[in-house]
Amino acid sequence: MDFTLLSSPLQGFTDFRFRNAQNKFFGGIDTFYSPYIRLNGKLVIKASYERDLLPENNLGLEVIPQVITNDAEEFLFVAKYVRELGYKELNWNLGCPYPMVTKSGMGSGLIKNTNQINHILDRAHSETDIIVSMKMRLGYDTTEEILDVLPILDTYPLKNIAIHARIGKQLYKGGVHLDAFQQCIDNTKHKLYYNGDITSVAKFQEMQERFPAIDHWMIGRGLISDPFLPTMIKNNTTEYPKNKMELFSAFHDTLYAIYSESLSGQTHILLKMYHLWEYFAETFSNPHKILKQIKKAKSIRNYEAAVSSIFKNEK
């Protein structure tokens, strides 16, 4: 069965720089979702959001913009903005699990508020021509919360609903709730995409067997910790390319050069790279040791020396 692989949007990671580098060196992702636009009550698009979505910064990529909001006016404002950039679809984030979002009644913290979800979707479909898709968790406190929302969603012509099979308060801890995801399949007319813990070819195949009707699969953290994964899934192989470390090194160097240019000051650059290495380390034979080496590097010079040593020593 043919299937589509999508990159889940991760704040601070999957910006246009990462998307372009991943696509150039590894490929395999059919569609990228951009990290969400959050307006915080002001109808103004920040320059960083604009840069991330400009068509010239995403050449050759299929990108879908995302918004996080609990306010209809904000939704409509972002919808108009992305339409002006040439995008036809806007994804609405009801999945973000982080307390700074959920405490404001957004992301997975909005799932319980069925009236507000209905109100925003009603206005989106009556006042814009944007195609709306959803990215959700199963709920914030319980996996049953989504079951109260699905009948409302069924009244709108949504393109799809991508579901991360956890609840918000789990963050990324604990396992995915596969029975609850199956309940969603059984209780909606909409096309569902699966998201959650696709971190290896074996895991992907396990999910495919469990959910044979699903043909769109979203990879989140697994893409950062193993950017080879999408192509390996597509090629149905667990074998890495012979030049694995050479490719990964070139990928790292590209990102490092871009972030060194776009971020100001040593601290910002190192912090950005440290965060990436929390995932990158998983590609190496001794992740704990690798991460320790990276975090010990407190200057640009030491960081570059550590990275050089890591790639030299990894077979």
Q: Are strands 89-94 and 131-137 parallel, antiparallel or unpaired?
A: parallel
Residue 220 among known ligand-binding residues = yes
Which of 133, 136, 131 lies closest to 113 in space, CA to CA? 136
Residue 35 has pLDDT above 90, yes or no: yes
What is the side-by-side order of every strand in the sheet holding 161-164? 63-64, 31-33, 4-7, 216-219, 192-195, 161-164, 131-137, 89-94, 66-67
Which residues are known to be catalytic? 96
Using 50, 70 and 90 to split pLDDT, how confident is the model at 296? very high
Mean per-residue pLDDT, 60-75: 99
Mean per-residue pLDDT, 150-172: 98
pLDDT value of residue 139: 98
Residue 105 among known ligand-binding residues = no
Report the SS3 class of residue 261: helix
Mean per-residue pLDDT, 233-254: 97
Using 50, 70 and 90 to split pLDDT, how confident is the model at 245? very high
Residue 11 among known ligand-binding residues = no
Residue 103 among known ligand-binding residues = no
pLDDT value of residue 12: 93
Residue 1 has pLDDT above 80, yes or no: no
pLDDT value of residue 146: 99
Question: What pLDDT, in 10s, does the model give residues 192-221?
Answer: 999 999 999 999 999 999 999 999 999 999
Helix axes 114-127, 145-153, angle to 10 degrees: 20
pLDDT value of residue 270: 97
Contact yes or no for 181/203 (Cβ under 8 A): no
Question: What pLDDT, in 10s, does the model give residues 43-62?
Answer: 999 999 999 999 999 999 99
C-alpha to C-alpha distance for 309 and 210, rounded to whole angstroms: 42
Mean per-residue pLDDT, 117-137: 99
